[in-house]
Chains A and B, each alone.
Chain A
């Protein structure tokens, strides 16, 4: 499978017929219904980050670990990886997702170089590969400011959207323009100050669409350790975990349906319905 779309302009053009649609949702939509058993069973979550430490007590099994590598001719390929996490950040994200969706499948694609930074090309290569694997949820607690990278990201985010791969992307921690969280096709996440991991707040003034726990979050870190971290990086996997719960309970939802469910179960929205 490649990271490109089969385009359709008329009903009957495409490979998928229109008949397999989910039945009507209950009214009102409750968290219990949206999240099902809350375990995210069967949902496949990919973490594009610094790698994930396999077997970390807060992460558990990692179904697949990959890394973007530069080949002999300078071309980038995604290969199986045994190095794990290079800085702890990916493991932190994985531990949060695991805490919310204990039965989801976690895949890791390392797109970063050393430390907390990476190249745009590696990010694109990792995302292209992830799209080809058709993951249900792709967690991106990172962004780029580079316009050339952003253009290609925009295209890939659209591909993901139409292929029912939900990209959950973290907003930058300081008010600057970066991508992919600014794209409408992804679910963008910022932090609230609360300590409830299940507290989701909808933002009526996007581009940041949802706020989740991102302040003083206890997370797994390198060498089986743990830390308390803050930043939108850590709010994002909370929402990825919620998406995994939703998609575990309701297979095959489209990203806009998932986003709608998130909206309906947000703390500041359910109160009023």
Chain B
């Protein structure tokens, strides 16, 4: 379609409203001929005037149809004339009612005000008609009028315009509520006209279909000159010092050199041109004669009218002689025929007379609406004034340069400046001053900051947003006043400019040139983009990207697109993003497809919606996988949920997505939700007989703590899954199943078997699709290499190889490999590198809420600290870990407590170690805790004066340690045993235990462990039999 290059739209059937078919000439539902898609169809804010003739029924009863028809014809004619005089279009005549529209086909920022002016004129016309006919009719003629403003679907052009929307009905209700000769308007219209219209508030009206009373006002009268949007010219001038200095300097130059200059201040609507001029005039008022005029909107009125107004005002000065005064007044009154030369002759003499005594400042506002003749005359006037100090200050929107690119160019004494948006601090300052009374808490400041950000530094927008806060509508809604101004600005763009803005708006706040060219199916957009930037609608960000100057421009451009078309455009953006960037655009394209889907649903276009569901779900799921691979679990979970809600009920991937969601939820410790997800996944998989999907869901279920599965159950489930996945050639599934087998062996301390299983699950060593699982299997493998019998140097090599195979983007997987590697290195006294690795790991998980990962890293860090003799740091870490794990309890918690006890004993703080042990009663029962815990407990029990319990615990520790194939676990248990024996003065036994521990550390090539054993051995050898050992060690 014409205005949205690059997109072919299919029109809805005008008769039944159901969606049309591409290239079909008749509606497939009702058989009506389908109109060509209307290129003028837009959503926009328009104003509607409803006018009804009072007492027409009585007239028709009394009058013969012929004179009645003539009378109604005259009435119609007058009403049409009044509407058209103010730029309105008659949409239709219904009986005696006339409906006029302002904003279609041409849209102006003052449509609402013009509508009210037209309504006032219609009332006047009706009164006139009444005076003309009342004698003859014997009936009084009067009209009742209603005006409303709001968003509609508008279509058509010329005299053939149509508007549809709820606001039209409300306008009709306002008209019905008006008394004879009254005009009733609503809140939206009021916001746009209150600067120029005197109103009287009515009691809010109860209207059919509205749950709350609708506020309404009576129009008393309207100022023919004033602008509709009320401006607070009393607001302080903020951050315009440079611009003000520029004007003052220009004035000083004019005054000191006795010359005439044209100074033009450009700026977008609301940026503060008039406010700046006012500030300047306040200053200049004591130094010069000042006089101001304004060009009426859109070149309405006489071409030279604004100049005549200024001249008439100047003519009243004392130094002007009577003859000149008369000439100026004649021109102003339009009483004489004149050529531009006549005007120039009078104007020159007038200015010369006035400026002879003191400098003259003439301000002309809204010069963008000046007609060409006025600009010509002003230019020639400035050129022809010699030795007279006159500053002609023109305030203009940037549009002036569209119609008059050479304005004030080529003149000797012309200067211009453009008012830039306020920077954020200044915008905040201005917003703050607009609130009379402010609470001193953060929320108030946040509102101020929000207003400043949303305003894009435009003072008018700030005012409007402040008002929006005051009336309770909040700052997130786009105030109608701003929309009217921007709508009008966008309306002035050509089709290409509009298309660019709309596509960019659909894409987001910014868009690359390449993407825009793809969307518009056009090349060479650069000049048009530059024009849009010049008009301050877009701004360049870097070389190839453009961004909207402020949020509102984007919103207005977006809002102007009919939702049906928006849906298609979002779809197209998604398509092209995927074409450009493949899977990496999945996040964005999923978002666009989701919006398209939402619009289709909102519009009841079920078929279009259905067609889009799978694509949307697929894109969101891809996006989720990418987030997973970056380790951002919460975002991944949210995306999976969105994918599930988009996916059709019979989508075969639903079960898989649910399982994925379950896995993510487990990792973020939302176990209850995970259970639900896995259960739903299993049910779905069963329903559609998908054995592999079922196995995936069951693997999730069986691993939940609530399943209370024994290691045997887990191995059973995993081996069943292996069978299913082998049949289905599901490499990912196999990876998971073997990973689970590895985890079970790992948990039971069979590290060699664990290494085997993990390695089988990663046949090619490459990363599998699912980051979480990959993190588990890589982590499990690295952990088993660390814990198990693999000698440290070899284990380090394998871990390094593992790590180098993981791409930098797979952060969780890297973290999983880095932690065991760090501890292995620390065991080789390379604690600096170990700390570096863990710090990096901590940084990587810090960005995501992966709580368990964070806790695990702390445990590793504590181990590294402990190996390096940094006991206070280790203590702090372990205390944090214990606190974090406290709600969960279990083996990990006990293990961390055991480590903490050992650190406290090394610090000589035996009482505190005992205190840790006593902090949880179950720790003194025979719980299912690891060897390391029992060894530590033994030492704490002894410190608590319970040697028998200590020995029991040592036995348990040794039994459990021997059940594993971990040299380190065994060595730790043996050292714990040695400590206990030493304290019990059984030096010889202690020595044997230390020697055995040393042998295991040595087999593992664990240098720090070997050193610790050697030190304890020295202590054992140094202690004489019978002498009590009170301190644990020499550190």
Contact = CB atoms under 8 A, between A and B. Distances in A.
Interface of A: 49-50, 87, 89, 92, 111-120, 122-123, 141-146, 149, 170-174, 176, 178, 229-234, 236
Given A145-B432, A176-B432, A112 B441 contact: no
B211 interface: no
A49 B447 CA distance: 18
A215 B656 CA distance: 48
A119 B441 CA distance: 17
A143 B444 contact: no
B445 A112 contact: no
Interface in B439-481: 439-445, 447, 469-472
Interface in B651-694: none
Contacts of B437: 111-112, 117-120, 122-123, 142-144, 149
B436 A149 contact: yes
A173 B447 CA distance: 14
B755 to A, nearest CB: 49
A80 B472 CA distance: 23
Contacts of A141: 439-441
B201 to A, nearest CB: 10
- Shortest 10 CB-CB contacts between residues of A and residues of B: A116-B444, A231-B441, A233-B440, A120-B436, A233-B441, A118-B437, A114-B472, A117-B435, A170-B440, A116-B439
A115 B441 contact: no
Contacts of B433: 145-146
A233 B440 CA distance: 5
B439 A49 contact: yes
Nearest to B472: A114
A117 B440 contact: no
A4 to B, nearest CB: 23
28 contacts: A50-B439, A89-B439, A89-B441, A111-B437, A112-B437, A114-B471, A116-B441, A116-B443, A117-B438, A117-B439, A117-B444, A117-B470, A118-B437, A123-B436, A141-B441, A142-B440, A144-B438, A145-B433, A145-B436, A145-B438, A146-B436, A170-B440, A172-B438, A173-B442, A176-B432, A230-B442, A232-B440, A233-B441
Interface string B800-813: 00000000000000
A113 B470 contact: yes
Contacts of A234: 441
A142 B445 contact: no
Given A113-B470, A114-B472, A117-B470, A174 B439 contact: no
B664 to A, nearest CB: 30
A73 to B, nearest CB: 12
Given A145-B438, A172-B440, 6 more contacts: A111-B437, A112-B439, A115-B469, A116-B444, A117-B444, A118-B437
A49 B435 CA distance: 15
Interface residues of B, number: 19
A174 B431 CA distance: 14
Contacts of A143: 437-438, 440
Nearest to B446: A116
Contacts of A117: 435-439, 444, 447, 469-470
A118 B437 CA distance: 5
A87 to B, nearest CB: 8
User: In this complex, which of B436, B437, B447, B469 has the most chain A Cβ atoms within 10 angstroms of its Cβ?
Assistant: B437
A117 B433 CA distance: 11
Given A113-B470, A115-B469, A173 B440 contact: yes
B457 to A, nearest CB: 18
A142 B436 contact: no
Contact of A114 (B436, B445, B470): B470
Nearest to B435: A117
A194 B793 CA distance: 52
A236 B966 CA distance: 63
A141 B436 CA distance: 14
Contacts of A236: 440
A87 B439 CA distance: 11
Contacts of B444: 116-117
Contacts of A233: 439-441
A174 B445 CA distance: 9
A89 to B, nearest CB: 5
Nearest to B466: A117
A81 B469 CA distance: 23
B289 to A, nearest CB: 29
A145 B441 CA distance: 16
User: In this complex, which of B432, B440, B444, B469 has the most chain A Cβ atoms within 10 angstroms of its Cβ?
Assistant: B440
Contacts of A112: 437, 439
Given A113-B470, A114-B470, A114-B472, A119 B445 contact: no
Given A116-B447, A117-B470, A231 B442 contact: yes
Nearest to A141: B440
A178 B442 CA distance: 17
A142 B439 contact: yes
Contact of A229 (B432, B438, B442, B469): B442
B467 to A, nearest CB: 11
Nearest to A90: B439
A67 to B, nearest CB: 14
A114 B445 CA distance: 15
Contacts of A144: 436-438
Contacts of A113: 470
User: In this complex, which of B432, B436, B439 has the most chain A Cβ atoms within 10 angstroms of its Cβ?
Assistant: B439
Contacts of A174: 445
Nearest to B428: A174
A171 B437 CA distance: 13
B66 to A, nearest CB: 52
User: In this complex, which of A111, A113, A236 has the most chain B Cβ atoms within 10 angstroms of its Cβ?
Assistant: A113
A174 B438 CA distance: 12
Contacts of A229: 441-442
Interface in B469-508: 469-472
Interface in B618-658: none
Contacts of B443: 87, 89, 116
A231 B440 contact: yes
A142 to B, nearest CB: 5
A123 B438 CA distance: 10
A50 B292 CA distance: 45
A137 to B, nearest CB: 17
B436 A116 contact: no
B760 to A, nearest CB: 52
B440 A115 contact: no
A123 B443 CA distance: 19
User: In this complex, which of B429, B436, B441, B447 has the most chain A Cβ atoms within 10 angstroms of its Cβ?
Assistant: B441
A166 to B, nearest CB: 18
Nearest to B437: A118
A170 B438 CA distance: 11
Contacts of B432: 145, 176
B187 to A, nearest CB: 16
A145 to B, nearest CB: 5
Contacts of B438: 116-117, 142-145, 172, 178
A232 B444 CA distance: 12
Nearest to B442: A231
A137 B470 CA distance: 29
A233 B439 CA distance: 7
Interface string B500-539: 0000000000000000000000000000000000000000
